[in-house]
């Protein structure tokens, strides 16, 4: 998760704390109870009337909790809408089917600089972005790509894995599982952002997306799934075999 994603998460948490607190106070007044369990009761018609109207004009606790609940709800909705707008705008320029793969250079697991332009247009490419080295889903995916390496080679395809960990982390990961293909270190997630790879859970979890690139340097297929890690390999092989 990059600095901007962390900042968004912190802002949402900071805003959610008073929102939750004043919702609880509001619900207690409306339901006429002193129990904080009122917070967990689902909203009703009465709640909406109390929120948008003026149900108890002489009750100071009601007026204060309602007004502050309105304020923080409004701020939260505006912030959420702005967050969604920024992500939609960001994704407008993302790499998708039909896009040309942009040039970029990153260090591989051995610390050598790898320039994507040296293989673009010469080989089919399977570029897969994954969240993190040596985690359960990423390990399954990486090892399955390893096990199918010769099959990809028969399709004249090069496998390239990209994530935000360091060269040292990639080296340990590749050595531990005997990975026989290129892993690139995208510290700062600049290439991930260049491709427009989405994140999940308000930026907490980097996305898992695979791009299939033909020998013209164009993306012909993408597969996006956080949970179906090994299916990235099956889908890549399926598409490459259809190229023949």
**Of 66, 91, 116, at which residue does a domain stop?**
91
Once rounded to an integer, what is the mean pLDDT over residues 108-120? 96
Give pLDDT, residue 50: 92
Higher pLDDT, 93 or 32: 32
- The tally of domains found in the chain comes to 2
Confidence of residue 109 (pLDDT cuts 50, 70, 90): very high
Q: Where are the alpha helices (DSSP H) in the chain?
A: 3-30, 45-52, 60-91, 136-147, 149-154, 167-177, 190-195, 231-242
Q: Band of the pLDDT at 183, cuts 50, 70, 90?
A: very high
Backbone angles phi, psi at 2, to 5 degrees: -80, 180
Q: Does pLDDT of 146 surpass 70?
A: yes
- Tell me: pLDDT of 88 over 70: no
- Residue 198 binned pLDDT confidence (cut-offs 50, 70, 90): confident
Considering the domain architecture, whether residues 199 and 168 belong to the same structural domain is answered as yes
In-domain check, residue 97: no
What's the confidence (pLDDT) of residue 82?
Answer: 86
Residue 209 resides in a domain:
yes
Q: What is the CATH number of the domain that holds 196?
A: 3.40.30.10
Instruction: Give Cα 207 distance to the centre of its chain.
Output: 4
Give the integer Cα–Cα distance in Å for 103 and 120.
9
pLDDT for res 83: 80
Same structural domain for residues 196 and 223? Answer: yes
Indicate the residue among 63, 91, 119 that finishes a domain.
91
Residue 108 DSSP symbol: B
Residue with tokens 């997630």: 189
Q: What is the mean pLDDT of the chain?
A: 90
Could you tell me if residue 134 is inside a domain?
Answer: yes
Question: Alpha-carbon distance 70 to 170, whole Å?
Answer: 48
Q: Are residues 79 and 41 in the same domain?
A: yes
Number of Cβ within a 10 Å radius of residue 219: 19
Structure confidence at residue 94 (pLDDT): 79
Q: Are residues 235 and 121 in the same domain?
A: yes
Beta pairing, strands 124-129 & 157-163? parallel
| Residue 138 annotated in active site | yes
pLDDT computed for residue 122 by the predictor: 93
Q: Is residue 100 part of a domain?
A: no
My answer on whether 237 and 162 are in the same domain is yes
Instruction: Residue 82: give the domain boundaries.
Output: 3-91
Task: Yes or no: say if 105 and 179 are a contact pair by the CB < 8 Å rule.
Answer: no
Q: Which of 91, 124, 145 is the last residue of a domain?
A: 91
> Does residue 58 share a domain with residue 110?
no
Whole-angstrom Cα Rg for the chain: 25
Count of H-run helices and E-run strands, the chain: 8, 9
Query: Is 69 a domain residue?
Result: yes
Interstrand relation of 105-107 and 205-206 (parallel, antiparallel or unpaired): unpaired
Report the pLDDT value the prediction gives residue 8, as an integer from 0 to 100.
Answer: 79
From 95, 106, 125, 138, the catalytic residue: 138
Higher pLDDT, 109 or 198: 109
Q: Could you tell me if 213 and 130 lie in one domain?
A: yes
To the nearest 10°, report the CA torsion of 158, 159, 163, 166. Answer: -70
- Do residues 121 and 215 lie in contact, with contact meaning Cβ atoms separated by under 8 Å? yes
């Amino acid at each position: 998760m990059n600095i901007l994603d962390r900042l968004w998460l912190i802002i949402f948490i900071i805003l959610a704390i008073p929102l939750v607190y004043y919702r609880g106070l509001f619900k207690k007044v409306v339901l006429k109870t002193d129990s904080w369990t009122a917070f967990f009761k689902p909203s009703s018609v009465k709640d909406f009337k109390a929120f948008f109207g003026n149900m108890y004009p002489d009750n100071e606790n009601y007026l204060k909790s309602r007004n502050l609940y309105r304020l923080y709800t409004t701020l939260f909705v505006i912030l959420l809408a702005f967050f969604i707008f920024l992500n939609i705008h960001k994704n407008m320029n993302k790499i998708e089917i039909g896009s040309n793969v942009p040039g970029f250079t990153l260090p591989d697991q051995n610390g050598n600089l790898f320039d994507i332009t040296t293989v673009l247009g010469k080989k089919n490419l399977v570029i897969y972005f994954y969240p993190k080295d040596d985690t359960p889903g990423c390990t399954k995916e990486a090892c399955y790509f390893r096990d199918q390496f010769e099959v990809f080679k028969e399709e004249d395809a090069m496998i390239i894995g990209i994530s935000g960990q360091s060269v040292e982390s990639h080296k340990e990961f590749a050595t531990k599982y005997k990975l026989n293909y290129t892993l690139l270190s995208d510290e700062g997630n600049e290439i991930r952002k260049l491709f427009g790879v989405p994140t999940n859970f308000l930026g907490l979890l980097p996305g898992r997306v695979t791009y299939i690139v033909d020998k013209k340097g164009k993306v012909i297929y993408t597969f996006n799934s956080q949970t179906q890690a090994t299916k990235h390999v099956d889908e890549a092989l399926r598409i490459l075999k259809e190229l023949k």
